[in-house]
Structure 1
Amino acid sequence: MSQQPFSRPGAYDLSALKRPASSSTPAGPPVAQSGGQPAGQSASTAGGGTAYSVSADEQNFQAVLEASMTAPVLLVFFSPSRMPESAQLAADMQTLSDEFEGRFLVGLVDVEAVPQIAQAMQIPSIPFVVAVVDGRPMPLFQDVAPIDQLRPALTQVAQQLTTQGITGRHQPRSTVVVDEEGVPAADPRYAAAQDALEEGDIDRAVAEYQKLVDANPADAEAAAGLAMAKLLQRTQGVDLQAARRAAADAPDDLDAQIMVADLDMLGGHVEDAFARLVEVVRRTSGDERTKARDHLVTLFGAVGNDDPRVLRGRQNLASALF
């Protein structure tokens, strides 16, 4: 790794981090091997982990580096006793990691607790921040800076990475955040969409969830929220009994069958909705079969792919298709 000093956040040359046209073995110094623990499971030494930060140790460091294959990782090397200001820098980077909503994963390395990591990464001084993209490290800056300087600096880094086609985002860590009373706190990313739903503004909820999905297509929770919001949007003002009569009178009317399936979903009859569309897939072909299948897959997403009803529904769909 280059030993070039970076005195303060400012103008960065990140051209060396541009994604190669073809994959190759990540370059960089040797690192400790993972003991199998997923990145993001240990609490932060700098004051508790957040959705997009993790305390790095020997067990999870390799996994933290591997997370850079999804989106950039910023490694923050600090020492609470030798330089308390560096611990404040680490805490500020944690705060900013949540503000950037997965654009970076911040890996916090307390060099007193895990000196071997700093040695392996050839860290010349404390504090030190290293950007890692696709497993390849590059020094970013080397000094304490207030959060008001860090924020625009990281914004600049994100913009440069975007121009180089590096646009991935990390998923939030599985750690559940609780409030002072121990109640799980709502994820602020979904607040605007959820507020819209509570206010009955379905169109705005769809728009808010769509923004989240556009920003991070891998966000399964946002995708599920979007699917459910669109379900509410499609069924607004529809009379259930009239829809059921229409579907019974015209069993080959695909739109009528889809509408009843949607209404069954809203009524909590998830398996009935799945079964109806599986049967439509079974007895149709061509464009109609494709439309029914795609709509069923959308309903799977609204429920959640880990739900046992979805697992059974997928099995039934596969049987109907093949």
Structure 2
Amino acid sequence: MEPIINAAPDDKTLIKDSDERAFAQDVIDASQEALVLVDFWADWCQPCKQLTPALEAAVRKARGKARLVKINVDQNQGLAAQLRIQSLPTVYVFKDGRPVDGFQGAVPESQITQIIDAHASEGSGNDQIEAALDQAAQLLDAGDAETAAALYAQILQADGEEKRALAGLAQAQLKLGQPDEARALLDAVPEAERAKPPFSQVQAALDLAAQATAAGDPQALKARIEKDPDDLAARYDLALALAAAGDRAGAGDQLLEILRRDRSWNDDAARKQLVTLFEAAGPTDSFTLEYRRALSSLLFA
């Protein structure tokens, strides 16, 4: 019998349901091998019932270039909040561990195919830009924000509408202590786009930067906590101060301790602030992965 050549992957490989606990493996890790479309849906959402079959058909026709992961938002509200899902259906597109595109509402299969082809095609004319974007992201992750900013600016000279370059430049400006310049860049982006990757991460980082003005003196706040460990307002303010100083782990520890002592304190403020920290750090950052697991263990214990 002759071997089957270029057989299409089966549905179990291409299409799966996932949740908050498996998100890192099913989406972030898997997107290193193929494009991953993440479908956020709910049983009560009628447009979702129109979109999901189109997504499944487009992914099957892509023959391994793309996969589909379906997330029920009613069963994964923390993850939906972290990724700023504001309407249904919403689809995020992940590549190489990062969100690179997204859309909302029921769109035709042909449009989904175009998105898959744009991000998953091999040997396209955008290879140089893709390589430059990867290099700039690596520089930014390594702490060389100045060189990353220069490279993002070069990319924008070649393609002034490249979303990842715009978002990357804004992130670099934030790390260089230039929040006004970063906000000006984001203000030029249509409001509907700011809540979606890759701009949502920059928006969250700007929100954190704005909160720095409300942060008190860390030493005074620590003294209040030593005197009264149940002073949750002091713990929350200390988390803001630590986050403003760049100590995300310290901020995360204080927020988790608030949740251990009173899960619903101040209208769920601690969990919401953790979600903002996750958004600012990005879905693949080690802080996000570690503290999201800790949050899930605490909430679902």
Q: Same fold (TM over 0.5)?
A: no
Indicate the structure with greater helix content.
2
**For the superposition of Structure 1 and Structure 2, which TM-score range results when normalised by the shorter chain?**
0.3 to 0.5
Please give the TM-score of this superposition, normalised by the length of structure 1: 0.42
TM-score by length of 2: 0.45
